[in-house]
Amino acid sequence: MKVLVAVKRVIDFNVKIRIKTDGSGVETANVKMSMNPFDEIAVEEAVRLKEAKLATEIVAVSMGAAQCQETIRTALAMGADRGIHVPTDVELQPLAVAKLLQVIVAKEQPRLVILGKQAIDDDCNQTGQMLAALLGWAQGTFASKLKLEADAATVTREIDGGLETVKLKLPAVVTTDLRLNEPRYASLPNIMKAKKKTIEQMTPEALGVDPKPRLTTLKVAEPPKRHAGKKLASVAELVDKLRNEARVI
């Protein structure tokens, strides 16, 4: 069974985000970039499926600037077999990514596509759902457990107030939640091996998709500054402040 994994290059989760002075977006120049953490979980899950002999081939796809190839190399070093890079300088929004993936899926014919539940830069949480809808495939989103059989996948989903288990007919789209697994670090020999694996380029034009954004960002702003906390001497003082300063009681 072939598994396709979507991996996005995003600002590293440890970096303190800075807003551009003109409020048009987030500063990305000279900022450390990494694979979206939920996508690392997606790659890890695919590699585990391959190790369990349930998957035969893993294809990692990334879309965007030339440096996305580094993100694909990371996936290859973790255990993916080959990569596909869709080069574009256009800002890619979830619908464009889903449409591009739809065409790649038609070419590659995977039985399972694994994506992150959301990219930590735009927090959209849309691409997997849109892809499943475009393909007319079953979807298991926010997966914290995945069990694969020949024709079906059982997905345990993290939902408000508990867990839901759904059974999907393959082919299907699965999006990963944090507790699905703990991604491995690539070993040095595997990083070296990954350099020899192939990354194919497929432009949006060649895939027949117009990737231009449908939504316009009006303004990006810092969250309001939080005031420093205060230590109070007694419960009476706390009650007084809640009543007379915060006016919440």
CB of 226 to ligand AMP, least distance (A): 26
Q: Cβ 160 to ligand AMP, closest distance in Å?
A: 19
Q: How many residues does the chain have?
A: 249
Specify the residue, 156 or 176, whose C-beta has the smaller distance to ligand AMP.
176
Shortest Å distance, C-beta 247 to ligand AMP: 39
77 versus 97: smaller Cβ distance to ligand AMP: 97
Nearer to ligand AMP, 28 or 126 (CB): 126
3-state secondary structure of 37: helix
| Short-list 56, 26, 23, 60, CA closest to 40 | 60
Q: What residue ranges bind ligand AMP (CB under 6 A)?
A: 6-8, 36, 38-39, 61-64, 92, 94, 97, 115-116, 118-119, 122, 124-128
Give whichever of 63 and 80 is closer to ligand AMP, judged by the CB atom.
63
Name the closest residue to ligand AMP (Cβ): 116
Q: How far apart are CA 20 and CA 11, in angstroms?
A: 14
What is the smallest separation between the CB atom of 236 and ligand AMP, expressed in angstroms?
Answer: 48
The pair of structure tokens assigned to 202 is 């497929």
How many Cα atoms sit within 13 Å of 229 on the Cβ side? 3
Residue 26's contacts (CB-CB under 8 Å, 6 or more residues apart) are 11, 17, 18, 19, 20, 121, 220
